[in-house]
Every structure is written in C-alpha cells, then in structure tokens.
Amino acid sequence: MQNSPSWTLRTIPDQSGRVAVVTGANSGIGYVTARELARRGAHVVLACRDPERGQAALTRMQGEVPGARLELRRVDLGSLTSIREFAAGWDRDRLDLLINNAGVAMVPFALTADGFESQFGINHLGTFALTGLLLPHLLAAPDPRVVTVSSEGQRFARFDLGNLNAERSYWTAFAYVQSKRAGLYFAIELQRRADAAGLKLRSMAVAPGLTRTNVLTGGANSDRGRLYATVARLLVRVAFRPTPEGAKTSLYAATVSDLPGGSYIVPDGLLQLRGEPTRRTRERAIRDTGTAGRLWQLSERLTGVTYELPTATSARQP
C-alpha cells in the first residue's frame, strides 16, 4: 500500500475547469465531497433523489462556499427511467468527474421501481446504468475519472451471483456488503475495459471507513422503530468518525493527479475503519476477473445499458 499521511482536504489541488457530478450530494459524504470540489473551483452538479432535500443542501453549500459554481439536478438511482432522464438531459459538452456516492445501507427488504432488491438495485445497478449512460460525456473530457464508493465491509461478502437480487433469500447485512463488493468489481472491471480500448478514462473505487452519515438512520431506515433509531444514532456518534474524514478517500481518488486507474483507496488504519487515504492493491476482489466479468454481463442484461467503449482513436474524433 502507498500511504499519504499528510494528505488533508486542504491538499486538494485547484479544480477550476472541471465539471463534476456527485450522486447523493444532499448529505453525508456526498455533501462534503461536492462542497470541497466546489471550494477548489469545480463546477459541481448535485445529483439528488429528493428535490426538497437537494435544494436545502444547495442553499447551505452556497452559504458555506460563496461564489461556488453549483447546480441541482434530480436522479433516483432506484429508477432506470429517472437515470435515463438524467443522462438524456445532460447539456454540457463533457463530464470530467463522476462520483458514484449515493446508496442505501442495511435496509429492510424492498424493491426498486424496476423490481430489483433495493440495495443491489440502487448501490450497484443504478450506479452501473448511470455511469454507462454518461460514458460518452466522460469520454469527451480530456482526463475523465469515475469514482465509485464501495465499503470496507465488502471484504466480508460471500459473493453469490445466484442470489444478488435476493432470488433465494434476503439478509440485510449480507445484501449490503454484497452490493458494495459489486461496486468494487464494477470499478475495476471498468478500468480493465477502458485500458483494453486504449482510453484515458480512470476508474477508481473507495472505502470511506466508519463515518457519521445518515445512511443507517435516514431514508429507508427511518421507519424501523424507536429502538433501532436510538441504537443506530448512539453507534454512529460513539464509533464513527466525522463526515469530512470519511469523504477523504473519495476526494483523494478524484483529485490526486498521478493516481493510476484501477486504484482502490481505503483508510490506512486497522481494518480500514479509519485513517488516512491509501492505495490498497492486495485485495482478492481486484484480481477476480472472472466474477467481475460475469457480474458485468448480468448488469447489462438487467439494466439494458450496454457499454460500447470506442477505441482511443474514435473517441478523439468530433
């Protein structure tokens, strides 16, 4: 692993001229990620599911970073229709940076608008579809990056291609870590395919570590009862670190200039739970090309989104 002990949010280089999309930017890690990119000069699109919460976040961020170049656009990763509408409405000449941050965690069994188990459907299939549909705009940028937020919990997944969509059984924690393993497979496989096509696209995956966000207490978890809410809030407050610390891996992957594509950035502390951003290369999932390839094919079939990567020559043509 390559450590970066002195890296802080203040280390982020100038981002002027970059156009970035951050999904789930209305709260938590996504909010901090969007804010710090905007603070360094990027034009940041807050891609949020709930327009009201998104507008509140936009207003707050404008107050924290006066003069920031920000805009709000709606996308629901639990709906392929919404994802297609977002991509079809992209009206800029390029997209330099896509941060796939939005997700759900440890939620009761539920289905997305398209009938997918919600954690797999939102955390992986939604991310897969959005990235694929925005790919032409990414390839129009001179140095495009995709950052996908996985989780340190993915290391404990028993990845079962026959039960990704709760075809046989559903266990909340199992489904969550499996969906986050899928995110790591996706990010690395996207890099393999970009490399094979000779493209400049860099795809990264990150794990934020234990971080204080509303992922365990908000959204789909908000109606799980008083006892769950009390225990979850106590756990987050006592064991989890401040949100800006959790956003470091995303921002590191998005902005460090010499970071190679296919990097997996995690906290350097015990069990990847806290610490400074570091590049981890000894991860079995990174080398598991067979499973990653099968997951890719399954994802294309389920979403109807096919990645047609051009060659490096054709990508440069107007």
- Give the pLDDT of residue 295: 98
Q: Are 47 and 86 in contact (CB under 8 A)?
A: yes
- Give the pLDDT of residue 82: 98
Q: What percent of the chain stands above pLDDT 90? A: 79
185 is an active site residue: no
Please compute the mean of the pLDDT values over residues 72-87 and round it to a whole number.
98
pLDDT digits (tens, 9 = 90+) for 99-155: 999 999 999 999 999 999 999 999 999 999 999 999 999 999 999 999 999 999 999
Q: What percent of the chain stands above pLDDT 70? A: 85
Domain ranges of the chain: 2-212+244-301
Determine the topology of domain 2-212+244-301 in CATH: Rossmann fold (3.40.50)
pLDDT digits (tens, 9 = 90+) for 214-249: 554 455 545 555 654 444 454 555 455 688 899 999
Nearest CA-CA partner of 150 in 1, 266, 278, 303 = 266
Higher pLDDT, 291 or 310: 291
* H/E element, 206: strand 202-206
- Give the pLDDT of residue 6: 75
Task: Look at 71-80, 168-177, 217-226 and tell me which has the smallest mean pLDDT.
Answer: 217-226
Task: Look at 181-195, 208-222, 280-294, 302-316 and tell me which has the smallest mean pLDDT.
Answer: 208-222
Average predicted confidence (pLDDT) for the chain: 90
Please count the CA atoms within 13 angstroms of the CA of 288 that sit on its side-chain side.
15
Please compute the mean of the pLDDT values over residues 58-63 and round it to a whole number.
98
Considering 31, 170, 176, 264, which one is annotated as catalytic? 176
Q: Are 20 and 35 in contact (CB under 8 A)?
A: no
Tell whether pTM > 0.95: no
- Give the pLDDT of residue 309: 84
